[in-house]
Amino acid sequence: MHQALLIPEVFLEIFAHVNQIQNPSSTREKALARKSIAALTTTCKTFHEPAMDLLWSKVDHGARWDNTWSKGLEPLSAHEARQFLRHAARVRSLNIQSDHFFHLLSVIPIEKCVFSRLRSLTWKLSTCKYMDLFLSCTLHRCSLFTINHDLKNIVTRCAALEDLSIKKLNFDASTADELFLLSDSVRLCKQLVTLSCPPLDWAVWEHLSNLPNLVRVGVRDVQIRGAPPWSLERDIANPTQFLNVTALSLQVHSAEYIITVMQHSQFPSLTELKLETDLLSSEEAEQFFCALSNCKACQTLQQLEITIISFGPRSGHQGSSLTAIPHLLCFTQLQTLRLVCRFSYIYLDNDLLLEAMSSWPHLRALEIEGSCLHPSTVTFLGLFIALQLCPHLHTLRVLIDPANTEIGPNKIRHTSLKTVDFDTLSPTANTADVARIIFNALPCVDQVNRFTMHTKEWDEVNRHLKSLKAAALYVAEPVSSL
């Protein structure tokens, strides 16, 4: 064997190359990589241990712990258990979706941790009977699909836990007690970097504000009808500061919960914010957006996504008008804004659009998706004037007035916009004119993506647009060949 292969950096580079997977979702690529690593274990003594470590480092449900291979097998013998324990110490990542293989480990005391160097655990079982086998003091990431009664034990034994994800999928009579247990357990976590879980009480929010390493927080409701709205106490004395949190997601049906969090919290480092809720009235909507604009993220927020599931009382399909955009003008570093309220008209006119674009010069994607059952006052001329203030914009989705196709003598061209979604209350009268406007002003747009109404007219616009581009290409070809 060449002496260079004895240098650790060299053979580790070889292993990294062999284990390289271009498409993580490809079962074939994964199988080929594992086969190649397995071959390295028999190449020489120098390669055996590092290759075995790599081969065992990640064990998922599909690769080894499925529901069929263990059927009818006897529990491990004492000798087999010793061999298993030797290899179990190599495992760094486990995805447990079934308990069908646990009977094989009956020779091992269930309170003993056998995966001593485990760093990542995904546990999709409702029971925690065998969980002690996996609770290593080195565990950094834990993903659970239920709030089980052993949660306090998990976070206590795994003091190094940095990433905790808990998905409570079903609402039942025990949910309230489980949420109290969740809050008590999260307060025991001292090293969290990322947290994703059901709603927490205010004492936990205060605890989280004192964690210096915390950068991502996600709170999501139990998504089922009949679940009560979660609320926080309103008599909070002092606001909390989350100095290092850069990403926050609050998907809670109770807007009151989100309003309370935003009113009493400051996020001076926040760059990503995702909110999803119901708004019961115009007054609650005003509170919601005021709280959002006062969270001390005006100079840092880059990505903002707001989804209003429902807004106020509905009459047929027509909801109230939502005045949201003026509250968002303070976020001067915005690069992505997605505002969705399908049951309400999101107010936007030419003047407000111009003011918004002047406030968001770094904008790259703007998607405003409201009810189409209200005439838009944004014209093509108003849109193109505003677009000049956002030279980096590549994605646009707005409701527009197709009737006014006059854009004046100015040669307005926006060369970075590539993806456009337009919709209208009324059909597009002159599809050829609309296509020519888009062809001249938005040269990088190949088609308009209509997203709810009047698809026939927008299909016709796209046919005209395709013809214009084909004609322009035909004219340009002889010139380029000279």
Give one DSSP letter per residue of 163-213, joined into a string. EEEE------TTHHHHHHHHHHHHTT--S-SEEEES---HHHHHHHHT-TT
Least confident window among 55-64, 80-89, 384-393, 409-418: 55-64
> For residue 255, is it left (φ>0), alpha (ψ between -120 and 50) or beta?
alpha
Residue 30 has pLDDT above 70, yes or no: no
Instruction: Give pLDDT tens digits for 74-128.
Output: 777 888 878 777 778 888 888 888 777 777 777 777 667 888 889 999 998 877 7
Residue 455: exposure state from Cβ atoms within 10 A (0-12, 13-18, ≥19): exposed
% of the chain at pLDDT higher than 90: 45
17 or 419: which leads in pLDDT: 419
Work out the average pLDDT over 27-50.
Answer: 65
**389: pLDDT confidence band, cut at 50, 70 and 90?**
very high
Is 391 a domain residue? Answer: yes
Least confident window among 35-49, 157-171, 451-465: 35-49
% of the chain at pLDDT higher than 70: 76
Work out the average pLDDT over 62-72.
Answer: 52
Pick the most confident of 15-24, 72-81, 132-141.
Answer: 132-141
Residue 269 has pLDDT above 80, yes or no: yes
CB 370 within 8 A of CB 322: yes
Question: Residue 63: its pLDDT value, please?
Answer: 47
Is 399 a domain residue? Answer: yes
Rounded Cα gap, residues 328 and 289, in angstroms: 8
CB 243 within 8 A of CB 266: no
Is 143 a domain residue? Answer: no
Question: Residue 239: its pLDDT value, please?
Answer: 81
242 or 231: which leads in pLDDT: 242
Is 282 a domain residue? Answer: no
36 or 449: which leads in pLDDT: 449
Work out the average pLDDT over 260-278.
Answer: 95
Residue 460 has pLDDT above 60, yes or no: yes
Is 459 a domain residue? Answer: yes
Question: Residue 234: its pLDDT value, please?
Answer: 59
Residue 398 has pLDDT above 90, yes or no: yes
Question: Residue 425: its pLDDT value, please?
Answer: 75
Question: Residue 81: its pLDDT value, please?
Answer: 77
466 or 131: which leads in pLDDT: 466
Rounded Cα gap, residues 405 and 441, in angstroms: 12
Residue 22 has pLDDT above 60, yes or no: no
Instruction: Give pLDDT tens digits for 164-195.
Output: 999 876 666 567 788 889 999 999 999 999 99
Q: Residue 46 sits in which domain range?
A: 3-56
Rounded Cα gap, residues 274 and 280, in angstroms: 19
Is 333 a domain residue? Answer: no
**C-alpha dist (Å) from residue 95 to 73, 122, 337, 392, 423:** 21, 5, 35, 41, 44
345 or 249: which leads in pLDDT: 249
Is 217 a domain residue? Answer: no
Question: Residue 37: its pLDDT value, please?
Answer: 63
CB 369 within 8 A of CB 451: yes
Is 115 a domain residue? Answer: no
Question: Residue 104: its pLDDT value, please?
Answer: 77
**315: pLDDT confidence band, cut at 50, 70 and 90?**
very low
Rounded Cα gap, residues 265 and 295, in angstroms: 6
**How many domains does one find in the chain?**
2
Q: Select from 56, 73, 98 the last residue of a domain.
A: 56
392 or 68: which leads in pLDDT: 392
Report which DSSP code applies to 346: E
Tokens representing residue 387 in the block: 């677009």
Please report, to the nearest 10 degrees, the dihedral formed by the alpha carbons of residues 424, 429, 432, 438 taken in order: -30
Question: Residue 351: its pLDDT value, please?
Answer: 97
Q: Select from 15, 32, 56 the last residue of a domain.
A: 56
Work out the average pLDDT over 341-346.
Answer: 83
Instruction: Give the mean pLDDT of the chain.
Output: 82
Please report, to the nearest 10 degrees, the dihedral formed by the alpha carbons of residues 5, 9, 12, 16 taken in order: -120
Pick the most confident of 146-150, 230-234, 351-355.
Answer: 351-355
Q: Which helix (H) or strand (E) segment is 259 a member of? A: helix 255-263
Instruction: Give pLDDT tens digits for 409-432.
Output: 667 889 999 999 988 777 777 889
CB 301 within 8 A of CB 331: yes
Question: Residue 317: its pLDDT value, please?
Answer: 43
Question: Residue 65: its pLDDT value, please?
Answer: 47
Question: Residue 125: its pLDDT value, please?
Answer: 84
Question: Residue 76: its pLDDT value, please?
Answer: 77
336 or 459: which leads in pLDDT: 336
Q: Which helix (H) or strand (E) segment is 475 a member of? A: helix 455-481
Question: Residue 254: its pLDDT value, please?
Answer: 86
138 or 67: which leads in pLDDT: 138
